[in-house]
Amino acid sequence: MPRGDLFPDIAPYETGLLPLSGRHVMYWEQVGNPRGQPVLFLHGGPGAGAGAVHRRFFDPGHWRVAIFDQRGAGRSRPMGELHENTTPILVEDIEALRRFLGIERWLLFGGSWGSTLALAYAQAHPERVIGCVLRGVFLGRPSEVEWFLYGLKRVFPDAWAAFAEHLPLEERGDLLGSYLKRLCDPDPAVHLPAARAWSQYEGNCSTLLPSPDTVASFAQDRTALGLARIEAHYFANGLFLPPGGLLGGMHRIAHVPAEIVQGRYDMICPPETAYDLAMAWPRARLTVVADAGHSALEPGVRTALVAAVERFRRRG
């Protein structure tokens, strides 16, 4: 797929591994201008990890881009580790990375689960946030998790059937619990097929039009295991969010400017959620892309995201 509206491929100018609590070690990298305006990229999932294409949303001549893989995801270690893996801990991991890199304040850029984590971090540390660029908003509410597990059947009955039929008929009344049991099984012959089934389901539902490349990327063993196991773990624990949810903490960041980009036909995170967030955020600008689903790499979404980042650049 041509991606001429993104910036050219770029290699990191610095990479490293940052020890965290327990057994966890965070992979991080910086790209772009070492003296530029700081921006933090937050990947989705939870558990999906970041990739080289994510560097391309930012003008490397202007931005100092920090990218990291969250606990248990991507190049962080151990892969798929659930111990000491919660939203408040991830928020403090971000603070640890900010201090390590010597950054005072930064722009947050995150989509899907990355938007959830961006909001959680911003509400915990509003003094460190210049603004937010969010895509395919996910607030982690029970209704949103229920939609992913069961509601998508209304639009993607074939993909949902493949997802559900990985389990015995008698276990399909509790998809989350049954999948989590398999995903946490130590035997790769048990957890890898379950991870692939979960991840391919998500990949099949992520784009407006069928995208074999997207599904193939979701189906890779390392991507699938981190995404499925950690996602199921977070879903089973209410995303480790406070009782009032993220909308209950919006008063803490009411002063923070935000750009929200949402695909009109996003089936993973339907537009209602982005609208609810925009209505609760006085300084948010909502852009609905008329011909897009969930993926950040769909043409209209990536164009809107680059434009949103550029508007923050002009703010100075």
Question: Which residues are catalytic, by number?
Answer: 112, 266, 294
Residue that is written with structure tokens 């048990």 in the block: 190
What does the alpha-carbon distance between residue 139 and residue 277 come to, in Å, rounded to a whole number?
Answer: 8
Hey, what are 291's tokens? Answer: 């011909």
DSSP 80-123: T--TT--HHHHHHHHHHHHHHHT-S-EEEEEETHHHHHHHHHHH
Hey, what are 22's tokens? Answer: 């327990």
Alpha helices (H) along 102-187: 113-124, 142-149, 157-164, 175-183
CA end-to-end span of the chain, whole Å?
32
Helix pair 221-236, 188-204: axis angle to 10 deg = 80
The answer for residues whose C-beta is within 8 angstroms of residue 235's C-beta and 6 or more apart is: 145, 148, 149, 176
